């Protein structure tokens, strides 16, 4: 897939939703990944998992529906769908760690060519560290998708040969969705470029030492 | 035998200085706020606290930290927009932090309750949170050795109990309650109501009475929310 312009966050969320198979069990991380839920239709028949202990999570609660006992992993009040189920933390993370989820969608600071993920700590030594479920999510699902901008504000590419930020997980990212393209990652370190938006293959290659393979015409 | 305490203060009266206290809750959901407030009133100090977070705003665990009654906290996500009391204590070097991935926190508690000596988990492998820990490759995958977290006391919030001490929870407020109840020498539960034994469906019990040592009935917003839900369902 080639597009002449970079895509916005909502379009990217739509592209992620399009790649989620019908009937999947899915966990959407906090932030940009949450947008994906706006594009999951009833035809997707996706069951959403939230790591604080629920399968079958519904949309965000309206003011009249707010229930302090019914929140998502971002502590936002949500609703339940018919067929929802609750379970405790050890069971919830067993669902994840046990490889039962089909897809997990996360945000990131950096992703390496071999699928290493950095999304929990900027490396600033004076920062108070907080990890939550990030490391469990990173290694838990059958497929781990990451959504992020391809470049930093300073123009540095965030898909890197080796992450410089503290790692969340090793070799765990399957596919990277960015405003400038979609990339399939593997242990080999060779990155398959599935789509480019507002960026040519040559421009991409010039910005990184990673070995890219052009699969945009597939 | 599960004891029924008249007040939250009575329920927590035996918690001694230096205890490791497991506290249920994910944010405010399932947080045993009235028990934590009673613990604050009791004056117990030099505590090690295990909770997913490190206190919110000016209530509960945040106040225990503000009063410097917590020497160490074991949690997954201390930094929040309203965790100012933890932030201040941490930056002053007046509280020790053991940061644990949330799933490892849950499993280490589960392991404690289930008599497991230690376990290998893939979570955290290759990260700074696994530094210094034993690792092993098993069937081509890398794992980190993690040890159980035992509590002296668990403070949890459930929804309903029967007089025998069986507990059921409400929605995502269940979170850490069931695993913490198994992982402590003494489990103290605050519940919305205590029903006659035999009222709860045995198929639906989440925490069985063997784990509940003390309980106290305290109505919170959860009772109103459950009533609202029942009314909507009856429409």
CATH number of the domain where residue A81 is located: 3.40.1080.10
Chain A touched by B9 (CB under 8 Å):
no
Domain of A109, in residue numbers = 2-214
pLDDT of residue B233: 83
Which H or E run contains A194? strand A191-197
| H helix and E strand count, chain A | 4, 14
Mean per-residue pLDDT of chain A: 96
Strands B47-50 and B20-23: parallel
Q: Which residues contact A65 (CB under 8 A, 6 or more apart)?
A: A77, A79
Give tens-digit pLDDT for A19-65: 999 999 999 998 899 999 999 998 899 999 999 999 999 999 999 99
Whether the Cβ atoms of residue A107 and residue A28 lie closer than 8 Å to each other: no
Pairwise CB contact (< 8 Å): A68 & B128: no
The label of the residue with tokens 């404690």 reads: B112
Mutate to test the interface with B, among A49, A50, A64, A67 (most CBs of B within 10 A): A67
Q: What's the rounded Cα separation, in Å, for the pair B64 and A148? A: 38
Distance from CA of B180 to the nearest CA of A (A): 10
Chain B touched by A130 (CB under 8 Å):
yes
Q: What's the rounded Cα separation, in Å, for the pair B206 and B168? A: 5
Q: What's the rounded Cα separation, in Å, for the pair B188 and A114? A: 47
pLDDT of residue B235: 61
Instruction: Supply A135's token pair.
Output: 């490391």
CATH of domain B3-116+148-234: 3.40.1080.10
CA proximity to B62, closest of B78, B45, B42, B41:
B78
Using CB atoms, pick whichever of B101, B110, B122 lies closest to residue A131.
B101
Give me the number of domains chain A comprises: 1
Q: How far apart are the first and last CA of chain A?
A: 8
Pairwise CB contact (< 8 Å): A130 & B79: yes
| 54-73 of B, contacting A, C-beta below 8 A | none
Instruction: Supply A169's token pair.
Output: 């997980």
Pairwise CB contact (< 8 Å): A136 & B176: no
Pairwise CB contact (< 8 Å): A68 & B99: no
Q: What's the rounded Cα separation, in Å, for the pair A161 and A128? A: 27
Chain B touched by A142 (CB under 8 Å):
no
Instruction: Supply B155's token pair.
Output: 């403070």
pLDDT of residue A126: 85
Catalytic residue selected from A5, A21, A43, A51: A51
Per-residue pLDDT of chain B (235 residues; tens, 9 = 90+): 899 999 999 999 999 999 999 999 998 899 999 999 999 999 999 999 999 999 999 999 999 999 999 999 999 999 999 999 999 999 999 999 999 999 999 999 999 999 999 999 999 999 999 999 999 999 999 999 999 999 999 999 999 999 999 999 999 999 999 999 999 999 999 999 999 999 999 999 999 999 999 999 999 999 999 999 999 887 6
Q: How far apart are the first and last CA of chain B?
A: 41
Mutate to test the interface with A, among B28, B75, B123 (most CBs of A within 10 A): B123
Contacts of B124 in chain A (CB under 8 A): 135
Pairwise CB contact (< 8 Å): B125 & A170: yes
Q: For residue A157, count other CB atoms closer than 10 A to its CB.
A: 15
Pairwise CB contact (< 8 Å): B76 & A130: yes
Determine the Cα angle at B81 with ends B78 and B83, to 5°.
45
Instruction: Supply B26's token pair.
Output: 């994910």
Q: Is B179 helix (H, G, I), strand (E, B) or coil?
A: helix
Task: Provide the ipTM.
Answer: 0.96
Distance from CA of A74 to the nearest CA of B (A): 9
Q: Which residues contact B7 (CB under 8 A, 6 or more apart)?
A: B38, B216
Whether the Cβ atoms of residue B143 and residue B125 lie closer than 8 Å to each other: yes
| 22-41 of B, contacting A, C-beta below 8 A | 26-30
Give me the torsion for CA of B101, B214, B172, A148, rounded to 10°: -20
**Residue A192 among the catalytic residues:** no
The label of the residue with tokens 């900027």 reads: A122
User: Is it the case that residue A177 has pLDDT exceeding 70?
Assistant: yes
Q: For residue A38, count other CB atoms closer than 10 A to its CB.
A: 12
Give tens-digit pLDDT for A141-164: 999 999 999 999 999 999 999 999
Asked whether the CA dihedral A199, A217, A113, B79 is positive or negative, the reply is positive
Beta strands in chain B (DSSP E): 3-4, 20-23, 47-50, 70-75, 96-99, 119-121, 135-138, 141-146, 151-157, 160-162, 167-168, 184-191, 193-195, 214-217
User: Is it the case that residue A193 has pLDDT exceeding 90?
Assistant: yes
Q: Closest chain A residue to B158 measured between Cα atoms?
A: A69
Q: A125 pLDDT band (50/70/90 cuts)?
A: confident
Whether the Cβ atoms of residue A122 and residue A62 lie closer than 8 Å to each other: no
Q: Closest chain B residue to A140 measured between Cα atoms?
A: B123
């Amino acid at each position: 897939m080639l597009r002449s312009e970079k895509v916005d966050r909502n379009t990217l969320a739509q592209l992620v939703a399009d790649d989620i198979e019908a009937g999947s069990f899915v966990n959407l991380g906090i932030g940009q990944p949450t947008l994906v839920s706006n594009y999951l239709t009833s035809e997707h028949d996706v069951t959403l998992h939230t790591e604080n202990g629920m399968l079958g999570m519904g949309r965000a609660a309206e003011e009249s529906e707010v229930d302090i006992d019914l929140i998502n992993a971002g502590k936002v009040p949500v609703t339940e769908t018919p067929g929802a189920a609750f379970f405790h933390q050890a069971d919830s993370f067993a669902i994840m760690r046990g490889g039962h989820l089909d897809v997990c969608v996360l945000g990131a600071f950096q992703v390496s060519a071999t699928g290493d993920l950095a999304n929990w700590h900027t490396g600033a030594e004076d920062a108070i560290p907080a990890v939550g479920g990030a490391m469990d999510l990173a290694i838990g699902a059958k497929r781990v998708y990451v959504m992020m901008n391809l470049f930093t504000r300073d123009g540095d590419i965030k898909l890197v040969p080796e992450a410089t930020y503290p790692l969340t997980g090793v070799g765990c990212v399957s596919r990277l969705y960015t405003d400038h393209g979609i990339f399939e990652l593997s242990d080999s370190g060779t990155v398959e470029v599935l789509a480019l938006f507002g960026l040519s293959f040559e421009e991409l290659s010039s910005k990184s030492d990673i070995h890219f393979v052009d699969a945009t015409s597939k | 035998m599960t004891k029924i305490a008249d007040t939250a203060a009575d329920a927590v009266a035996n918690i001694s200085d230096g205890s490791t206290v497991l506290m249920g809750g994910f944010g405010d959901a399932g947080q045993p706020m009235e028990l934590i407030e009673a613990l604050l009133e009791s004056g117990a100090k030099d505590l090690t606290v295990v909770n997913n977070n490190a206190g919110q705003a000016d209530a509960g665990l945040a106040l225990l930290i503000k009063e410097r009654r917590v020497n160490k906290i074991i949690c997954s996500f201390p930094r929040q927009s309203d965790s100012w009391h933890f932030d201040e204590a941490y930056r002053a070097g007046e509280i020790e932090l053991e940061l644990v991935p949330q799933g490892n926190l849950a499993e280490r508690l589960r392991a404690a309750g289930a008599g497991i000596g230690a376990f290998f988990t893939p979570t955290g492998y290759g990260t700074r949170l696994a530094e210094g820990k034993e690792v092993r490759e098993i069937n081509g995958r890398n794992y980190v050795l993690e040890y159980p977290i035992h509590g002296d006391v668990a403070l949890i919030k459930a929804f309903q109990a029967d007089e025998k001490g069986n507990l059921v929870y409400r929605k995502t407020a269940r979170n850490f309650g069931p695993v913490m109840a198994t992982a402590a020498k003494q489990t103290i539960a605050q519940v919305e109501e205590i029903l006659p034994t035999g009222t709860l469906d045995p198929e639906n019990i989440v925490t069985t009475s063997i784990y509940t040592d003390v309980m106290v009935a305290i109505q919170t917003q959860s009772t109103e929310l459950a009533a609202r839900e029942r009314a909507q369902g009856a429409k």
